[in-house]
Amino acid sequence: GNSVTQMEGPVTLSEEAFLTINCTYTATGYPSLFWYVQYPGEGLQLLLKATKADDKGSNKGFEATYRKETTSFHLEKGSVQVSDSAVYFCALSPPGNTGFQKLVFGTGTRLLVSP
């Protein structure tokens, strides 16, 4: 079946450090891939997405590249800020999915950035 595996957290970094949060997936065919972010006290928000192999999604300085050969969609940011402290969810949408309800989420990775 379809599944998403994320690295366990929390990930603790100092401000301006480089961030990588690993995400790998299992799916038949070519799913779409997403990163959602949940800031404290708020709901999940779509951060970025990629719909085909080698696509790079980017937003707010975050990037993730769809790697079919390694079935990965790792989230990266060159210089994190305290305001990036949040929980990050990797998700996939199975091939042929026609609705949001089919999204498969990872467990979430908490990022803590200190000044």
Q: Is 115 in the site for another protein (CB under 8 A)?
A: no
CA atoms within 13 A on the CB side of 38: 13
Choose, by CB under 8 A, the member of 104, 109, 111, 113 that binds another protein: 104
Q: Strands 44-50 and 56-59: what pairing?
A: unpaired
Q: Output the smallest distance, CB 36 to another protein, in A.
A: 8
Touching another protein, residues 56-85 (CB under 8 A): none
Q: Is 33 in the site for another protein (CB under 8 A)?
A: no
3 state DSSP class of 30: coil
Q: Is 107 in the site for another protein (CB under 8 A)?
A: yes
**Tokens 């990872």, residue?**
106
Q: Is 88 in the site for another protein (CB under 8 A)?
A: no
Instruction: Give the angle subtended at the CA of 89 by the CAs of 87 and 7, to the nearest 5°.
Output: 85
3 state DSSP class of 102: helix
Q: Site for another protein (CB under 8 A): how many residues? A: 25
Query: Which residues of the shown chain bind another protein in the complex (CB under 8 A)?
Result: 4, 32, 34, 36, 38, 41-46, 49, 89, 93, 97-101, 103-108
